[in-house]
């Protein structure tokens, strides 16, 4: 008598965790990485293979995945923009510091406006202090 194979036992499906939380601006965020500490979040588990009963959920999950991908791309673009802006500001500060050093090292007379709004000539001691500060600024901004 031939034996019929036993029905296949259901195998556990691979799970993927997605973190869901609301950010400080009130926007719903999704990520494969947990949110920053101190943020309340929910873990949404997604199976690697949807069953027929989960068909309705799969379109929602697809939308959530698309939203997650969009948010990740937006975060990356914002981070790159912030980094570029910081580099631009640092370069600008470097140029200003270099010009200040050049002026303070020159033989030209330096005039500043005091607290009362009057113009005063900078003496040698003040000039040396300003030069030291300008050189320190140039070192900081021009040598990252």
Helix H or strand E segment including 103: helix 55-105
Residue 62 lies in a domain: yes
Question: pLDDT grade, residue 73 (50/70/90)?
Answer: very high
Q: Is residue 94 part of a domain?
A: yes
Query: Which pLDDT does position 10 carry in this prediction?
Result: 45
Q: Take residue 89 and report the two structure tokens written for it.
A: 């500001």
Is 90 inside a domain boundary? yes
Mark residue 93 as left, alpha or beta (left: phi above 0; alpha: psi -120 to 50; beta: remaining). alpha
String of DSSP letters for 14-74: PEEEEEEEE-TTS-EEEESSPPPTT---EEEEEESS--GGGHHHHHHHHHHHHHHHHHHHH
Q: Is residue 128 part of a domain?
A: yes
Q: Is residue 136 within 8 Å of 99, Cβ to Cβ?
A: no
| 12 or 120, which is more confident | 120
Please answer whether residues 97 and 105 qualify as being in contact, where contact means their C-beta atoms are separated by less than 8 angstroms.
no
Give the mean model confidence (pLDDT) for residues 75-81: 93
Structural domain range at position 64: 50-142
In a domain? residue 80: yes
Decide if 12 is inside a domain. Answer: no
> Is the pLDDT score of 110 beyond 70?
yes
More confident residue, 45 or 134: 134
Q: Is 129 contained in some domain?
A: yes
For residue 11, what pLDDT band results from cuts at 50, 70 and 90?
Answer: very low
Position 23 in a domain: no
Res 13: pLDDT: 47
Q: What pLDDT does residue 140 have? A: 92
Q: Mean pLDDT in the chain?
A: 82
């Amino acid at each position: 008598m031939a034996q019929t194979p036993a029905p296949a036992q259901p195998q556990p499906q691979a799970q993927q965790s997605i973190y869901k939380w609301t950010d400080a601006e009130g926007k719903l965020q999704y990520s494969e990485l947990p949110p920053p500490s101190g943020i309340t979040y929910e873990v949404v588990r997604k199976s690697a293979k949807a069953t027929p009963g989960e068909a309705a959920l799969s379109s929602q999950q697809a939308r959530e995945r698309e939203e997650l991908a969009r948010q990740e791309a937006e975060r990356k673009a914002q981070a790159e923009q912030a980094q570029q802006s910081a580099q631009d500001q640092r370069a600008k500060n470097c140029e200003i510091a270099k010009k200040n050093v050049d002026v303070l090292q020159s033989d030209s007379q330096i005039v500043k406006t005091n607290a009362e709004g009057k113009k005063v000539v900078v003496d040698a001691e003040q000039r040396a202090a300003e030069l030291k500060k300008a050189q320190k600024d140039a070192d900081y901004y021009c040598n990252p």
